[in-house]
Amino acid sequence: MKIICIGRNYREHIKELHHEVPATPVFFLKPDTSLLIRNRPFFLPDFSKEIHYEVELVMKIGKVGKNIQKKFAHTYYDEIGIGIDFTARDLQNISKQQGLPWLIAKGFDNAAPLGKFIPKEQLKDQQDIHFHLNLNGTTVQKSSSKEMIFSFDDIISYISHFITLKTGDLIFTGTPSGVGPVKVGDKLEGFLEDEKMLKCEIR
Ligand code: MG
């Protein structure tokens, strides 16, 4: 199982981090050891002073595929969930300045809290999936899949040109604006439509 994450997929988030809108999806991997499941707490690591939350819609891949055409991409995922792409922003900024890969900023242990999934057929509108993140009860990130620059189908088609997708792979589809730091005692809750799918306490 692999975890593929899309970066820079919402215009407002690109603006807040002062990036350019990409011409093709930007993606990177997290190792399976970054998964944090069953609403377990997240312990702040000692190597960063600036861990940011990034709430994201997550696709679960349902069958093996390579070079998937966009028109067939929707048949490769059946379930949608909510995840958090924890990012050591201080380490990421150093990596970016040096033109180096982001792995230590994104792929550390427990950097990918993952909540429940629901079958996509249960969604009211698969082209307009609303989601949000609450921090200590206040909504800090809120968007819809229709705000994505690259759709689920674009992402599957593009990635599968380079990397074979396998059953159970997870694709984090990018974060909207409103990212920010966490501190000890914070409580994060991720919602898909109005259903709470994920919680994570910071310790
Ligand atoms: Mg992200």
**What spacing in Å lies between the alpha carbon of 56 and ligand 1's midpoint?**
7
How many DSSP H helices and E strands does the chain contain? 4, 14
CATH of the domain at 92: 3.90.850.10
pLDDT for the residue numbered 16: 85
Residue 101's pLDDT is 92
Which domain, by its residues, includes 77? 3-201
CA of 122 to the centre of ligand 1 (A): 25
Q: How confident is the model at residue 11 (pLDDT cuts 50, 70, 90)?
A: confident
Q: Which two tokens stand for residue 55?
A: 């709430």
Q: How far is the CA of 168 from the centre of ligand 1 (A)?
A: 19
The secondary element (H helix, E strand) that includes residue 170 is: strand 170-172
Taking the centre of ligand 1 as the mean of its atom positions, its distance from the CA of residue 123, in whole angstroms, is 23
Q: What pTM was estimated for this model as a whole?
A: 0.96
What H or E segment, with its residue span, contains residue 28?
A: strand 26-30
Distance 70 CA to ligand 1 centre (A): 23
* 52-94 pLDDT tens trace: 999 999 999 999 999 999 999 999 999 999 999 999 999 999 9
Percentage of the chain with pLDDT > 70?
A: 100
Number of domains making up the chain: 1
Distance CA(119)–CA(92), nearest Å, equals 34
pLDDT tens figures, 90-108 = 999 999 999 999 999 999 9
Query: What torsion do the CA atoms of 159, 160, 162, 167 make, to the nearest 10 degrees?
Result: 100
Q: What is the pLDDT of residue 20?
A: 84
Quote the ligand 1 centre to 60 CA distance (angstroms).
16
